[in-house]
Structure 1
């Protein structure tokens, strides 16, 4: 039996990019890459390693180059995503083929990924170790006030360019375990209608946030410098709230926030990466 090999797909190959986009919803039913690709967000930092059959992608493991921040240090690493195999080709070892190709590309660099509950036993075979993720929040009673922060639409090219600029030049949302230059991952969530609104506090500070059931969820902050988030809460809400929850470790923005639970939906695995002790949360909008 001939062992298949994986091919590398980048943003320049429109034919294989389209084949990749056809593959994704076959494995991840609610996910699509077509709009994100049409926006021009697939760049050199994203590569797919796929097994092809008659021009179709039947198995895949994608790699995103990341500027990781770990305990205040910036390191270049990678995050895996879109790992899987179409139902008709499972049980043939194709997921191992694409995983090995993706990890060969990463070399000895740090690698992380977020898995679903069904495949938690798969990734330790490739040297990955599971790590817990915490949920952070705080009680806060607040009501709307002042001029509401306007909503920015990531469907507009100039907004996406602005987010990239803030993400590249600005602060990492957390120094404990986070990432810089993750705007194109955040735009993927927006392209799939998975993100909360992007609100503009100022030219130097944009926030992904929204209110649900009396809680303000602050998913990410893209800012050139630190600021007092508490002072802007009334501008981010359209109804009274009793709590704020964060999609990242909020040590910079809300030092008094505490752990309010474990992120049971985030099955984090790491390879060649030592994480800081204590609770932390990799930003939800930087996960692939």
Structure 2
């Protein structure tokens, strides 16, 4: 569809997965803007219809994008359908021309009122931009706790995300809810596999005896536990104890654990990042002291 923005004509299009030429231009802009490369994820066959770029083309080149991710959650036992806005980018020579505004308006036209809420994570430069559309900045809450006693007799294997068999195992296990979380994504394997090609490729730990995968890394005496994929029949302490290092003294969660008796809860502080939320319902994060799981942030 042709559209005129600020006296210049562009082509507006939704969904580009199967158009090689446009997808290549989109990928080039993503590399320029964020250092993201979608090609490995696409080659894995994980770019599904749940990730929908809304793009503007100048000729054959993608010059602006706002992507929509269709997210299914279990929130305190209730099913919620949220829309996440992400990969918001504009080619440098096309900035301040109203392109992002146009694309966000198209997203809201399609999805506002057709889901339980719309959210995004924006940097400090857009703190005044998204409220113009009705978004409100809202806090999230993160849990942390002292580490349990370490278990040295449970075998733990680091998954090799370049091995097909390991990726197949990760895809299978991450398709279900995190049974240890109060706020968990369902059928989120497509996004987990995206993380496996980039930022989290060395953070997946398999515990064969427990048939469980833990997503975690370590900073000094702190273990960051981002997610857990398993049946949920193993106590959380046993899961943590198996993956921890000997020097681990503290566990910080990238999701909201069900078991919070030993946890401290604090407002999540992320440098240059704010959660913006729009919904006809109440903001579940603020009311129930929750956080969007780290691996659901597109």
Q: TM-score, normalised by structure 1?
A: 0.89
1:111 aligns with 2:118: yes
1:80 aligns with 2:88: no
Distance in 1 of aligned mates of 2:58 and 2:181: 42
SS in 1 for 2:270: coil
1:145 aligns with 2:155: no
1:46 alignment counterpart: 51
Q: Which structure 2 residues correspond to residues 86-105 of structure 1 after superposition, within 5 A?
A: 86-105=91-110
Instruction: Pick the aligned partner of 2:283 from 268, 275, 288.
Output: 275
Distance in 1 of aligned mates of 2:266 and 2:226: 15
CA separation of 1:186 and 1:169: change in aligned 2, threshold 3 A: closer
Distance in 2 of aligned mates of 1:199 and 1:205: 8
Q: Please list the CA deviations of residues 82-126 of structure 1 after superposition, one character each: whole Å capped at 9, or x if unmatched.
A: 012111100110001111222223241221111112212111111
Distance in 2 of aligned mates of 1:191 and 1:178: 21
Consecutive unaligned residues in structure 1, runs of 5 or more:
none
Moved more, 242-251 or 186-195: 186-195
Distance in 1 of aligned mates of 2:239 and 2:232: 15
2:67 alignment counterpart: 62
Q: 1:136–1:259: 8 Å Cα contact kept in structure 2?
A: yes
Q: Output the aligned Cα RMSD.
A: 2.2
Instruction: Pick the aligned partner of 2:186 from 168, 180, 187.
Output: 180
CA separation of 1:68 and 1:5: change in aligned 2, threshold 3 A: farther
Number of residues of Structure 1 aligned to a counterpart in Structure 2 = 285
Distance in 1 of aligned mates of 2:246 and 2:283: 37
Distance in 2 of aligned mates of 1:75 and 1:130: 20
CA separation of 1:194 and 1:161: change in aligned 2, threshold 3 A: closer
